[in-house]
Structure 1
Amino acid sequence: MRRSDQIADLTSNSTSTSTKPNRKRKAEEVSTIVPIKQLHFKEPFRRQSWPFRDSFINYITKTPSNSKAWTKLIQSCKYFFAKNPILVTENLWWDEEKEWLASLKNDERPVDFSKLSSKVWITNKFNATYVPSENGISLIIPKIYKCDANFSRLLYDVISYEDFSFLSTNVRKIVLHENIVKNSDGSIVPFENLIAVLPKIKIIFFYDKIDSSCITKNTVKELLKIPHFSKIDRFELFGTTEKFDIETFFTYLKKNKHTKFTISFGNSISETYKNRLEEIVDEIIETEEHDYKIPEIEYNGINGEKLTKLCSLSYP
């Protein structure tokens, strides 16, 4: 199966022609030759004489674990795809033209999941931006065999914790914009639980949804218990509420030498909370030498000069 055929098969029934070279045969051998005919890729395949046990062939067919190896298998013999129809695509995203698109090696095609008979294996990027509910993530999950995407963007969607975990475990950079991730009982999954299932995460942009925030009073303390949290390179949190434990966080900040933090608060925070934030900003600015990564802290009403000074220290 050629690379271009893989993408084409996402939207159409690609065909593959099987022919045999014409050779002279003895009369007595003719009756043993299988008649020549063209076979569509999805039609019955011809049984192969494998030099391996059937149990081994069944195992590698039903449980492919490496996308590159699987691509080579389905290109070499249609038996594997016929037995387990999985198509590898680098990127899958929702387009402004109101359709899902997939791409492989710069070959880009629309995908109609309602008509797709095979499953999709995503290896690079998954971008679900402004996806309408009738085409939402939960509806296409059954058509995704595996998501090895290292980048993911989810905006304004309601998604189950199970689906979120399925899509994100290989992610290194993620953008979450006012999403709601729910447990099976309908409750909102705390933010720290989202981070916990991102073992490879290095960069995160999170835009909180104020009326259904997943930030709790325990979020900061729980985040600090996650082993890979301290290994995150860049962490940007926008629009959060005063449930965010700024005291515990500031104590951690003064020991942090790795992560670049940006914390931006929503307009709902109280004057008391703002005053405490200003005290923290003042302490950072007035400290002559910093042996920690200086964060950016933003909120409505922060003094412009102080914000400029803080940003200049944060990005020397």
Structure 2
Amino acid sequence: MKEKAPRNRTLVLNDDEIPLLKKELLTIDKIAGIAQTEGFLPDSILDKTINADILKALPLLPDAFADLIIIDPPYNLTKNFSGKVFNARSEKAYDEYLATWFPLVCKKLKPTGSLYICGDWKCTSSLQRAVESELTILNRITWQREKGRGASANWKNSMEDIWFGVKNPRDYYFDVEAVKQKRRVIAPYKENGKPKDWEEGSEGNFRLTYPSNFWDDISVPFWSMPENTDHPTQKPEKLYAKLILASSKPGDIVFDPFLGSGTASVVAKKLGRHFLGVELSEEYCLFAQKRLIRAEKDKSIQGYKDGVFWERNSLAEQKKLDK
């Protein structure tokens, strides 16, 4: 194994811990066994990671069990996921790919549930069509993915979308107070000598603001962050924390059918929610399991502290975490 730099905190799997982590994974056979012996109560599979193909796993999961579904599917580009290559295809073919599993995923959502699905500029129109076919779209979030080199013959791709849909637009959960952002006050205005709509603190001058559908405060995981893994498209914990806090209550069930290295489950656990994730790659499932073990002791989420989200690089204590 190549020796890491001292500040490289990327998660690695040690040979001696792999067998123990594997024991915690659910498989298709294990789920079928649970269904036969226990009548398949949702509680039997909660807070677990299923290592399986999504098309084989979904029929075994009960309908309408999830309060919140977060999906980060393969985008319409060629990408190697731990030896399994997803190939770019025509827009029509990508639409057909989504149709093989997205309606089945939506059946797992409670009548009052919410769903978020991630994508980039190339596949976002396909995602919109897929969500509109099953749910009511309430918004499209765009977040700044500030990572990677610039493009020499095109604009650098540094933005991604998250489509937000619900089963019933008249009956769904959304807690805006839980996702307020703390922003720096550049030109602090005072009235009668006192701050107006902002606070003075040891970290500087800030005000709490309501969140918009454009997020420029997200740091993509990199080598000096303890949440980082070798997954090529890992989503930041802070990104998913916003979705989970806004659209679920403590004790609710968060489901991710394309779990990857486990961000949705890890953040759900840190925030006091139940979780269930499905992932095809065994390696990524093991990453998820190791991160879940760490989350038992470390509940911190980069950029989120004391119930508020901070602008990128604005929280003084955050710099200590990166050392």
| TM category, shorter | under 0.3
- The two structures have a TM-score, normalised by structure 1, of 0.28
Radius of gyration: which is bigger?
Answer: 1
- The two structures have a TM-score, normalised by structure 2, of 0.27
